[in-house]
Amino acid sequence: MDDSGRWHTPARVRPRSVVLGCLFLVVVLFGAACGSTVGSSTADADSGPWWVSRAGYPKPQAHPPRAHPNPVVRDLVREVDSEAGELSGSTVAVAVLDRESGEVVGGEHADDRIGTASLSKLFVAVDVARRRSEGMPVSGADVDLIRRSLAVSDDAAMNALWDRFDGAGAISRLAVRYGLTRTRPPAVAGNWGDTETSARDVATVLGQVPTLPEAERSLILGSLDAAPRTAAEGFDQGFGLKESKRPVAVKAGWMCCEHGRRAVHSAGLIGPDRRYAVALLSTQPSSKSYSEASEVVTEAAEPLLEDLG
């Protein structure tokens, strides 16, 4: 796009003093085996998802944290955070979902709300694909619009999809279906590039694409796989994860300017069997050119591609 716009475990009850030593030992050993309490913080409760108070929007099922986090992914995310922190004025939000373990590892800014730019095209495409698999009529012309909006990032195609398939509703439906706590539709109807999301939410959506039924999965992944270096309006979208030496399914996003910031994003599925869903969302000073801003995202993607891609 161009310049348009926990799992909660109840607190463990401590055992009362027991006269019988054996019973005391059993209780202590049982308590030790249970481990420490995992619960939501007060801050989490105070800053719940934007949609929880809306009628008809059920709270999604949260996924329990995984017992064996991937240390390689955690180290790489820390590396991206460290290097991005050295870039004057630039903020790079990174999140990686390991589809094998189900864990999402997020960097310092993984939950920052950021304008999607053209990443909203991916959200609408996933919603339409999911609804098609559930019986909603989708014509051949509509399928072509999805392909063009994803592969060459055609804004006109996205405009048509947004109007035809209730784009704002698509964003809301995805937020509910996948438990996206930082994603919401644009404040101004039709300004789909101003949809807000986070790196963690983008990685979550990407991680769901390979689970779609065959026809819908092939439509989205095939379109992302086929994305050329040059977008419909001539923008060079061959940056970030697209710099991989291996085939990758990637969606780029770019727009300017909100509060003097330029948004440049790269998100995709990388690695063997598309194991990792990676989201790199950046906001950078508008004084930087698109070329300079794209290079920042490419540099952030390098360690991830080298070790995961």
Q: Does residue 70 surpass a pLDDT of 80?
A: yes
Please report the pLDDT score of residue 48 as a whole number: 44
Q: For 86-133, what is each residue's pLDDT tens digit? A: 777 899 999 999 999 999 999 999 999 999 999 999 999 999 999 999
pTM of the model: 0.80
Q: pLDDT: is 55 or 212 the higher one?
A: 212
Please indicate, yes or no, if residue 6 is contained in any of the structural domains.
Answer: no
Please tell me the number of Cα atoms within 13 Å of 111 on its side-chain side.
8
Mean of all residue pLDDT scores within the chain: 83
Q: pLDDT: is 6 or 242 the higher one?
A: 242
> What are the tokens at 119?
């990443």
Q: For 235-244, what is each residue's pLDDT tens digit? A: 999 999 999 9
Q: Does residue 44 surpass a pLDDT of 60?
A: no
Please report the pLDDT score of residue 258 as a whole number: 85
Please report the pLDDT score of residue 83 as a whole number: 87
Domain limits for position 229: 71-307
Q: Does residue 225 surpass a pLDDT of 50?
A: yes
Please report the pLDDT score of residue 54 as a whole number: 36
Please indicate, yes or no, if residue 247 is contained in any of the structural domains.
Answer: yes
Q: Does residue 233 surpass a pLDDT of 50?
A: yes
Q: Does residue 67 surpass a pLDDT of 50?
A: no
- Cα separation, 149 vs 128, in Å, equals 13
Please indicate, yes or no, if residue 246 is contained in any of the structural domains.
Answer: yes
Q: Which of 82-91, 212-221, 254-263 has the highest mean pLDDT?
A: 212-221
Q: How many domains does the chain have?
A: 1
Q: For 12-33, what is each residue's pLDDT tens digit? A: 233 333 333 433 333 333 333 3
Whether the CB-CB separation of 38 and 6 falls below 8 Å is answered with yes
Please indicate, yes or no, if residue 18 is contained in any of the structural domains.
Answer: no
Q: For 147-196, what is each residue's pLDDT tens digit? A: 999 999 999 999 999 999 999 999 999 999 999 999 999 999 999 999 99
One-letter amino acid for residue 2 of the chain = D
Of the pLDDT bands very low, low, confident and very high (cuts 50, 70, 90), residue 68 is low
Please indicate, yes or no, if residue 23 is contained in any of the structural domains.
Answer: no
- The domain that holds 184 is classified in CATH as 3.40.710.10
Whether the bond between 257 and the residue before it is cis, its omega within 30 degrees of 0, is yes
Please indicate, yes or no, if residue 15 is contained in any of the structural domains.
Answer: no
Please indicate, yes or no, if residue 143 is contained in any of the structural domains.
Answer: yes
Of the pLDDT bands very low, low, confident and very high (cuts 50, 70, 90), residue 85 is confident
Of the pLDDT bands very low, low, confident and very high (cuts 50, 70, 90), residue 69 is low
Please indicate, yes or no, if residue 25 is contained in any of the structural domains.
Answer: no
Q: Does residue 230 surpass a pLDDT of 50?
A: yes
Of the pLDDT bands very low, low, confident and very high (cuts 50, 70, 90), residue 65 is very low
Please report the pLDDT score of residue 245 as a whole number: 87
- Cα separation, 130 vs 120, in Å, equals 15
Q: φ, ψ for residue 293 (rounded to 5)? A: -65, -40
Whether the CB-CB separation of 279 and 296 falls below 8 Å is answered with no
DSSP H stretches of helix in the chain: 21-34, 42-46, 71-84, 119-133, 140-151, 155-164, 167-178, 199-208, 214-225, 290-307
